[in-house]
Amino acid sequence: MDRREFLTATAALTATAALGSKASLAKRPYKDGISLSVIGLGGIVVCGMPQDEASRRVAAAYDRGVNYF
């Protein structure tokens, strides 16, 4: 496992652990009326994954309240 694979796996694990709870995520309201989740999902988490796996992870994050990608 090289450094990139390790960081990707660690980021995915952290995101999965953070999103594992069914409680709603805290949102931060902005002046323009948009409220974004305080936890975001960066693209590096799914970089290099097969498309179906990446889509499942993004959908799971969205289903758990993440709206900051």
Encode the chain (69 residues) as per-residue pLDDT tens digits: 677 777 777 776 676 666 565 567 889 999 999 999 999 999 898 999 999 999 999 999 999 999 999
Give the pLDDT score at 24: 77
Give the pLDDT score at 35: 94
CA 35/CA 24 separation, integer angstroms: 13
Give the pLDDT score at 57: 92
Give the pLDDT score at 56: 93
CA 50/CA 34 separation, integer angstroms: 31
Give the pLDDT score at 3: 77
Q: Which residues of 6-16 are buried (b: 16+ CB within 10 A; e: fewer)?
A: eebeebbeebe
